Amino acid sequence: MKKPDSSFDLVFPENSGCDNTQINFYCGPCNLDEIYFAGDDSPYPSRLFVTDETIAKLDCMKDFVSKFKESRRGNDTLLVLGAGEKYKTIESVLKIVSTALDANYNRNCLFVAIGGGVICDMTGFAASMFKRGVDAEFVPTTLLADVDASIGGKTGCDFSSYKNMIGAFYPAKKIHMWPSFVNTLPENEFISGLAEAVKTAFLFSKEMCDLLKNNREKVLSRDEKILFKVISECAKAKASIVHEDFKEKGRRAFLNLGHTFGHALESVAGLGKVTHGEGVAWGMGRAIALSEKLGLCTKNFADDCKQILESYGYCTQKQHPAISDRDIDKIISAMHKDKKNSSSRGTKVILQSDWQNTIIREVSDQDIDSVLR
Ligand code: GLY
């Protein structure tokens, strides 16, 4: 079995009921056979690999996929789902479960997600349910999944037109990351994932903010070394916050910077119309504008953040082009419905008073309105 080029363990808190997640990084092009089919040392008698139509067609996946005949390779099965947010449904999750059931898999099997956040989230959720829980491993293939979605055990799917409305905390046992997958992404998906990296930098690392500020060209041209650094630093930052607060009782909620506004935008614009990262980046701009409005941060800080967001092409306007004036009330009411804003006193938002200085605040509709119109 191929040895990773670097590796670390995400350690879950005591009493969380979860084992550690081993996070492995590999240089060069992805070779899944070296991980899953070299030698006879797999502890799993059968494995269900779940991917989507886009990933299955990638050059680096062709060899792996072609070795499955009618979806089977020995005791292993390959399931190829439709690609994209519109397939992030309970029906797709149940399709994963029924595929394992039809193959007569028992509780010792392994579910392996090969894909972006959608595939990782749904496969992890299906793994949490199948026979009351089987092991999961992830091979993230997008920048967004590398730096955020694959790490920390949040699994699930969309429901009733709200994102990630149902799901479970159910971390993967192992995550195998090939940053080279990022080269296969269309520009909009790359930029979407990059928003989560920018978010991590705003929250946890002034050094990474400077790196993003000073290496714009290299980042945008997907320079291998810079991306390896961005991905591994973000993964470590995410792992340390999950270690501290797995079930999001406190500081993990910081990771939702930009998400309350962003999810509302995604929902009001129509799921799939605005990429997740585009929504989050716009949401970060709104959250920082609100921080400034409430006197929590300086204009200098707000301008610095705005400059980074704009230098990567993100919209920092009050009104995102995907919505109109008439949609602002809908945005506010979608923000109330966001599952993370359970307070009756106001809408909970994540605000920044400085680099690495984050605040959770309940704010009024008027406050929100003031940065939207
Ligand atoms: N994506 C935010 C979190 O994992 O908590």
Tokens of 284: 């970060």
Which atom of ligand 1 lies at the shortest distance from residue 256's CA? Answer: 2
Position with higher pLDDT, 337 vs 208: 208
* pLDDT confidence of residue 85: 85
* Beta bridge partners of residue 363, listed in sequence order: 347
pLDDT at 271 exceeding the cut of 80: no
Q: What's the CA-to-centroid distance between 310 and ligand 1, angstroms?
A: 24
To test the ligand 1 pocket, which listed residue (118, 120, 154, 169) has its Cβ within 8 A of the most ligand atoms? 154
Q: What is residue 158's predicted lDDT score, i.e. its pLDDT?
A: 92
pLDDT band, very low/low/confident/very high, at 147 (cuts 50, 70, 90): very high
Q: Ligand 1: residues whose CB is within 6 Å?
A: 148, 152, 154, 248, 252, 255
CA distances, 316 to each of 220, 247, 253, 320 (Å): 19, 31, 22, 8
Return the pLDDT at 342: 57
Measured in Å, residue 136 CA sits from the centre of ligand 1 at 18
CA-to-CA distance for 185 and 70, rounded, in angstroms? 27
Which of 238, 339, 358 to probe ligand 1 with, by most ligand atoms within 8 A of CB? 238
Q: Give the pLDDT band (50/70/90) at residue 340.
A: low
**Residue type for position 154:** K
The preferred substitution site among 255, 259, 263, 266 for testing ligand 1, maximizing ligand atoms within 8 Å of CB, is: 255
Asked if residue 208 has pLDDT above 70, the reply is yes
d(CA 328, CA 343): 21
The yes-or-no verdict on residue 360 having pLDDT over 70 is yes
Strand-strand pairing, 110-115 and 135-140: parallel
* Mean per-residue pLDDT, 266-293: 93
Residue nearest to atom 2 of ligand 1 (CA): 255
Distance in angstroms (rounded) separating the CA atoms of residues 369 and 17 = 41
Q: Are 196 and 152 spatial neighbours (Cβ–Cβ below 8 Å)?
A: no
pLDDT at residue 344, as a whole number: 66
Inform me whether the pLDDT recorded for 89 exceeds 90: yes
How many angstroms separate the alpha carbon of residue 154 from the centre of ligand 1? 7
With contact defined as beta carbons under 8 Å apart, do 181 and 175 qualify? no
Least-confidence region, from 165-179, 219-233, 326-340:
326-340
pLDDT digits (tens, 9 = 90+) for 8-66: 999 998 888 888 999 999 999 999 999 999 987 899 999 999 999 999 999 999 999 99
Report the 10 Å Cβ neighbour count for 39. Answer: 7
pTM over 0.85: yes
> What is the whole-number distance in angstroms between the Cα of residue 218 and the centre of ligand 1?
27
Nearest atom (ligand 1) to Cα of 248:
5
153 CA → ligand 1 middle, Å: 9
What is the pLDDT, as a whole number, of residue 127? 98
Q: What is the dihedral of CA 372, 292, 279, 154, to 10 degrees?
A: -130
Atom of ligand 1 nearest to the CA of 238: 4
**Which pLDDT does position 339 carry in this prediction?**
59
Instruction: Tell me the pLDDT band of 251, cut-offs 50, 70 and 90.
Output: very high
Residue 259 has, within 13 A of its CA and on its CB side, a CA count of: 21
Atom of ligand 1 nearest to the CA of 149: 1
Q: Give the mean pLDDT of 110-138.
A: 97
Give me the mean pLDDT over the 308-325 stretch.
Answer: 96
Residue 69 CA to ligand 1 centre (angstroms): 37
Q: Which of 10-14, 113-117, 308-312 has the lowest mean pLDDT?
A: 10-14
The pLDDT mean for the chain works out to 94
Strand segments, DSSP code E, in 116-269 are: 135-140, 154-159, 162-169, 174-177
Q: Which atom of ligand 1 is nearest to the CA of 154?
A: 4
Number of the ligand 1 atom closest to the C-alpha atom of 148: 1
Contact 177, 26 (CB under 8 A): yes
Rounded average pLDDT over 269-281: 89
Nearest CA to ligand 1 atom 3: 255
**E-strand spans in the chain?**
6-10, 21-25, 47-52, 72-73, 76-81, 110-115, 135-140, 154-159, 162-169, 174-177, 347-354, 357-363
Judged against a pLDDT cut of 60, whether residue 202 lies above it is answered with yes
Nearest to residue 211, comparing CAs of 197, 196, 192?
197
Predicted local distance difference test score (pLDDT) of residue 139: 98
User: Which atom of ligand 1 is nearest the CA belonging to 252?
Assistant: 5
